[in-house]
Amino acid sequence: MNMNERLVSMLCDEQDVPESYRAGRAVVQREYLVDGELREWTGPMQDVYSPVFFVTGSGHAARLLGSYPLLTEAEAADALNAAVRAYDNGTGAWPTMPIEARIRCMEQFTQSMLDEKSSIVNMLMWEIGKSHRDAELEFDRTVEYIRDTIDAVKDLDRASARFTIEKGIIGQIRRAPLGVVLCMGPYNYPLNETYTTLIPALLMGNTVVFKPPRMGVLLHRPLLKAFRDAFPRGVVNTVYGDGQTVISPLMGSGAVNVLAFIGSSRVSNIIRRQHPRLNRLRCILGLEAKNPGIVTESADLDTAVQECVLGSLSFNGQRCTALKILFVHSSIYEPFLERFSAAVTQLRSGMPWEPDVFLTPLPETAKADYLAELVKDAEKHGARVVNEGGGVTCHTFFHPAVLAPVTPHMRVYEEEQLGPVVPVVRYDDIVTPLQYVADSNYGQQVSLFGRDTDTIAMLMDAMVNQVCRVNINSQCQRGPDSFPFTGRKDSAEGTLSVSDALRVFSIRTVVATKGTDSNKRILREIVQDRKSAFLSTDFIL
Ligand code: G3H
């Protein structure tokens, strides 16, 4: 069977899907959450198709999963106004609520989320083609992230539950919320990456307007009720639809205080520039990257191949942290390519519910065409696909293409492919990958492979001032979530880790007074009689 036949043979009849993974009836989501109400939308809807194709009586067809509202500027304004009212210039019930009470709301939400686990995981799988195992991991990681964030917010509160006396001034320093946060996550981690901004933003006392990514919308539906029931009205609001229609007026209003956006730098620039008062806007951005793997002469080939396969092709290479270009020293170039191609051939392709499946269909409709263009362009400039069946497509499935030798004339040398194309560059002089990183528009992470400590130390020292994480004999990755996750240049703005995220969604704020007897009496009375939500020495246990 050639690769094309193999890919076609992966397609099945919908009846062949094991019952517990079936998509079920199409979900017509008419409701959206605004001001503590699930409002019903009667206007135009957006159909949602799965990247999974089935064999039907009339040929191969993508599965219709459901539809969601295409809201207009008016509903977006309602959502924003609800968030503005709930914040109420920092005097609303949520921003002034004691942290312990906010934590209780978040715990209630987490419990409701756990109750909906199976439907969220299943829809995550159907909407973006993520394997069921990875969808489950994404869900579990998100719940763990919420729990860790709750612990971190308690720590933060404990650390500020005291007065500081300095040069005759008495002060209490705490972190205060920033206002209304617009949260927009990416399609590749529509649950996890959205919630890694939304949850800390909420816990710090901000109110939120949340727009799910274009792909990965319906999976959030079971959580709308959970948001409504767990938080005061207006604290969480949702918008759906075309970004130009619903996001532009929100930003143009000037009422958004924080933009939390994970996606491309092109789109983030369009969105942020719409804000009329840029100095008021804080931006927390996770953007694109082109993380290189540098395989040096002394690399252990088994480790390098294994980590480069995982790094470049986990979730079909659709991770911002994926290894998107490999530089391999010419002395080991041939054996590396041979083993790498063999390892890619071993990867299991199939449908997302299949056990141990590794490569699955891609959710972006034109993605396979785009990747094919990259391959064609590289071939035109002298590269070839070195693995069996590389680049063969079947509807939304694109069999990984390992391209070598890649040179600077090719588009794939610079463009972020975010998909299963692996460009391999042969180098003689270590200056080649070093210069690549220095010239790149991106600066997220790098992976170094080698055993010679002189070389690794030299490369590490050169790289730490170019990127934000240097991985040794390991693929690039975001986790563990307690580690800082950020990037230089066009790759990010602000740092996200469990504890850093709490900082980026808040600002250090001080109440201070000269240490006179009368001022001390005032402070004492306010604290003892618990007259203030801010000024307090309560210690969360
Ligand atoms: O797409 C970017 C994700 O944050 C990657 O996370 O490295 O843990 O897969 P990960």
Nearest to 129 by CA among 312, 318, 302: 318
DSSP string computed for 277-311: -GGG-EEEEE----EEEEE-TT--HHHHHHHHHHH
**Ligand 1 binding pocket includes 329 (Cβ within 6 Å):** no
> Quick one: what percent of the chain has pLDDT higher than 90?
99
**Cβ count near 336 (within 10 Å):** 23
3-state secondary structure 18-49: CHHHCCCCCEECCEEEECCEEEECCCCEEEEE
β partners of residue 33: 38
**Ligand 1 binding pocket includes 321 (Cβ within 6 Å):** yes
Q: Is the per-residue pLDDT at 288 higher than 90?
A: yes
| Distance of CA 315 from the midpoint of ligand 1 (Å) | 10
**Cβ count near 252 (within 10 Å):** 13
Pick the atom of ligand 1 nearest to 186's CA: 1
| One-letter amino acid for residue 504 of the chain | V
Q: Spell out where 77-139 has E strands.
A: none
Question: What gap in Å lies between CA 20 and CA 31, rounded to an integer?
Answer: 26
241, 72 in Cβ contact below 8 A?
A: yes
> Which tokens sit at 5?
């036949």
Long-range contacts formed by 315-318: CB under 8 A, 24+ apart: 315/130, 315/131, 315/134, 315/188, 316/129, 316/359, 316/360, 316/362, 316/398, 316/400, 316/419, 316/420, 317/400, 317/417, 317/418, 317/419, 317/420, 317/421, 317/422, 318/188, 318/362, 318/418, 318/419
First to last CA, the chain: 64
**Ligand 1 binding pocket includes 188 (Cβ within 6 Å):** yes
**3-class DSSP assignment, residue 343:** helix
Q: Is the per-residue pLDDT at 330 higher than 90?
A: yes
**Protein residue with its CA nearest to atom 4 in ligand 1:** 478
> CA neighbours within 13 Å on the CB side: how many for 527?
17
| Residue among 477, 491, 496, 500 to mutate when testing ligand 1 (max atoms within 8 A of CB) | 477
Question: What gap in Å lies between CA 423 and CA 414, rounded to an integer?
Answer: 10
Tell me what pLDDT residue 332 has: 98
pLDDT (mean) for 275-285? 97
> CA neighbours within 13 Å on the CB side: how many for 530?
3
Domains in the chain, ordered, with CATH?
Answer: 3-286 (3.40.605.10), 291-487 (3.40.309.10)
Q: Which residues contact 227 (CB under 8 A, 6 or more apart)?
A: 33, 109, 236, 238
**Ligand 1 binding pocket includes 469 (Cβ within 6 Å):** no
**With DSSP H G I counted as helix, E B as strand and the rest as coil, what are the percentages for the chain, rounded to 5?**
40, 25, 35
Pick the atom of ligand 1 nearest to 318's CA: 1
| Distance of CA 131 from the midpoint of ligand 1 (Å) | 15
* Structure-token match 């198709």, residue found: 49
Dihedral angle of Cα 387, 409, 488, 468, to the nearest 10 degrees: 40
| Residue among 131, 145, 193, 316 to mutate when testing ligand 1 (max atoms within 8 A of CB) | 193
Q: Spell out where 349-399 has E strands.
A: 384-385, 393-394, 397-398
> Which tokens sit at 431?
């200056």
| Distance of CA 100 from the midpoint of ligand 1 (Å) | 31
- The helix (H) or strand (E) run that includes residue 198 is helix 192-203
227, 236 in Cβ contact below 8 A?
A: yes
Pick the atom of ligand 1 nearest to 315's CA: 9
* Orientation angle between helical segments 73-87 and 243-252, nearest 10 degrees: 40
Confidence of residue 192 (pLDDT cuts 50, 70, 90): very high
> Which tokens sit at 208?
């939120």
Buried b (16+ CB within 10 A) or exposed e, 28-66: ebebbbbbbeebebeeebeebbbbbbbeeeeeeeebebb
**Ligand 1 binding pocket includes 478 (Cβ within 6 Å):** yes
The whole-chain average pLDDT of the chain stands at 97
**Ligand 1 binding pocket includes 477 (Cβ within 6 Å):** yes
- The helix (H) or strand (E) run that includes residue 524 is helix 517-528
pLDDT (mean) for 487-499? 97
| One-letter amino acid for residue 265 of the chain | S
pLDDT (mean) for 47-64? 97
Pick the atom of ligand 1 nearest to 314's CA: 9
| Residue among 139, 194, 319 to mutate when testing ligand 1 (max atoms within 8 A of CB) | 319
Tell me what pLDDT residue 244 has: 94
| Residue among 134, 320, 483 to mutate when testing ligand 1 (max atoms within 8 A of CB) | 320
| Distance of CA 90 from the midpoint of ligand 1 (Å) | 33
**Ligand 1 binding pocket includes 136 (Cβ within 6 Å):** no
**Ligand 1 binding pocket includes 479 (Cβ within 6 Å):** yes
Q: Is the per-residue pLDDT at 541 higher than 90?
A: no
Question: What gap in Å lies between CA 218 and CA 220, rounded to an integer?
Answer: 5
**Ligand 1 binding pocket includes 193 (Cβ within 6 Å):** yes
**Protein residue with its CA nearest to atom 7 in ligand 1:** 477
pLDDT tens by residue, 380-435:
999 999 999 999 999 999 999 999 999 999 999 999 999 999 999 999 999 999 99
pLDDT tens by residue, 427-467:
999 999 999 999 999 999 999 999 999 999 999 999 999 99
Buried b (16+ CB within 10 A) or exposed e, 398-411: bbbbbbbbbeeebb
**Ligand 1 binding pocket includes 120 (Cβ within 6 Å):** no
> CA neighbours within 13 Å on the CB side: how many for 82?
27
